Amino acid sequence: MHKASKQLRAMKVIKKETSTSEYLSSLLSEIEILKQLDHPNIVKIYEFYQDKYNFYLITEYIEGGELFDKIVKNKYLKEDKAMKIMKQLLSAVTYCHKKKIVHRDLKPENLLLVNKSND
């Protein structure tokens, strides 16, 4: 919980000792890219900290889980829901491309749902 705004936030903790230098370089690059983005269908990064042992990535809290898990649970997506997801995805991709950013790993495991409802 962010004390000033009372908004829920997510914190990802990444241990330095178990991360390769290649992964850490990639992570830092990705964080710099995320800081530049402001789109309703792209997770917002609020803060990034590090100490001697860990990196701490503070993002908006997205409670719905992965699209992949929802597809597996429901066995399929109805066409109208798939259409809404694709519209949001393509809007985000277009936004990134206009900023000369390419995702390169779009898949249901990397798409998060805002909430757990069926909408």
Query: Which are the catalytic amino acids?
Result: 105
Torsion of CA 76, 79, 111, 95, to 10 degrees: 170
Distance CA 45, CA 57 (A): 7
**CB contact at 8 A, 8 and 1:** yes
